[in-house]
Copies of this chain bind each other. A is one copy, B any other.
């Protein structure tokens, strides 16, 4: 889910941009001053930034330089002014693109996509298995629910990965014992216990699981 930070002091413009971008599938962070935007970005970084040039307090140029000092995030300037001098100055400051207000949302979105494509080429993402609000990154040893990371123990993690690898298929307790626990022996109840613990961590309502469901008489499966 791509996120974008919009720094723009005019409430009307900012809101309409935010709405339009949300329609395009972005999660939008908003800020009405450069200071607010910079703090926002430090705490909870968006992966793209849209910034107006004319801002009260710290202006857009300085804001761009500050963003550049701290990171590689793609920056698009949105400005009412279209003279070459401003465009050059903004790009020199470290912006990646410059569009003139009023902007066509489709164009803006396409420009953002182009930028994101470039930026992504630099840092290949770790493969992610997605089950609705549940995301599993086996190689990162990382699991998130609603975007929030949850801490799993090794056994829980291996169990989840095994189920995720066979998403939608039922795995019997015996199969799980063999694959998650190296030895095939052991009490089948053991699986129940760990499934229970896993549910406490990854399910919104562990009592009626949405992802990790029981198939009575057969075993468990991870729902898509």
Contacts and interface: CB of A to CB of B under 8 A. Distances in A.
Contacts of A154: 216-218
A84 B97 contact: no
Given A140-B170, A154-B217, A218-B157, A106 B126 contact: no
A104 interface: yes
Interface stretch (A14-22, A110-118, A176-184, A195-203): A110-118
A1 to B, nearest CB: 16
Contact of A121 (B92, B117, B122, B153): B122
Interface in A156-184: 157, 167-170
A217 B153 contact: yes
Nearest to A214: B141
Contacts of A36: none
Contacts of A121: 72, 122
B122 A118 contact: yes
Given A118-B119, A154-B217, A170-B141, A88 B110 contact: yes
